[in-house]
């Protein structure tokens, strides 16, 4: 539990470091959905040599409805691979609820942008052991 809290804190620290860019819960939620997607795509690539989930990303042209639809699909796919990131799923869900509560005031282009940022930067939230395991390397 302590490790999970520390990982959540590292995500919050990152978001605080770029607080001007991440000035709304919706931006944080979309970004973290992108991070979670990156984690799933990495697992798929290691296990299958391909990333079939990418087809669900609509060419990275996303909107609020598509992002909300992705979260349960990502979690289900992770479970199929007997994997999961409860700490990331938790904080992503928290920001999604906050975004619903405060309103999604992002354009489709902004949603696609923040999601893609999460997809591209997702690796920085992985621990070294996770990266090695996904590449099939020893710890």
Both tokens of residue 110? 């902004």
128: pLDDT confidence band, cut at 50, 70 and 90? Answer: low
Gyration radius of the chain over CA positions: 14
The pLDDT score that the predictor gives to residue 127 is 74
The pLDDT score that the predictor gives to residue 101 is 95
22: pLDDT confidence band, cut at 50, 70 and 90? Answer: very high
The pLDDT score that the predictor gives to residue 126 is 84
Backbone φ and ψ for 18, nearest 5 degrees, come out as: -115, 45
End-to-end CA distance of the chain: 22
1: pLDDT confidence band, cut at 50, 70 and 90? Answer: low
For range 22-47, the mean pLDDT: 97
Q: CA–CA separation, 83 vs 48, rounded Å?
A: 15
Q: With CA atoms as reference, report the closest residue to 31 among 134, 110, 130.
A: 110
Q: CA–CA separation, 5 vs 13, rounded Å?
A: 12
Distances (CA, A) of 106 to 19, 67, 70: 16, 12, 17
Q: What is the number of helices (H) and of strands (E) in the chain?
A: 6, 0
11: pLDDT confidence band, cut at 50, 70 and 90? Answer: very high
For range 9-30, the mean pLDDT: 95
Q: Are 68 and 96 in contact (CB under 8 A)?
A: yes
The pLDDT score that the predictor gives to residue 88 is 94
Helices assigned H by DSSP within 49-136: 64-80, 86-102, 108-121, 128-134
């Amino acid at each position: 539990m302590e490790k999970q809290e520390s990982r959540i804190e590292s995500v919050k620290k990152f978001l605080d470091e770029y607080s001007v860019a991440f000035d709304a819960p919706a931006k944080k939620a979309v970004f973290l959905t992108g991070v979670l997607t990156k984690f799933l795509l990495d697992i798929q690539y290691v296990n299958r040599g391909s990333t079939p989930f990418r087809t669900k990303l609509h060419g990275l042209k996303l909107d609020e409805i598509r992002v909300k639809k992705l979260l349960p699909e990502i979690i289900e796919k992770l479970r199929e691979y007997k994997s999961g990131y409860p700490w990331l799923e938790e904080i992503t869900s928290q920001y999604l609820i906050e975004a619903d509560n405060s309103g999604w005031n992002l354009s489709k282009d902004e949603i696609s942008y923040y999601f893609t940022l999460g997809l591209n930067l997702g690796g920085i939230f992985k621990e070294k052991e996770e990266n090695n395991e996904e590449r099939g390397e020893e710890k």
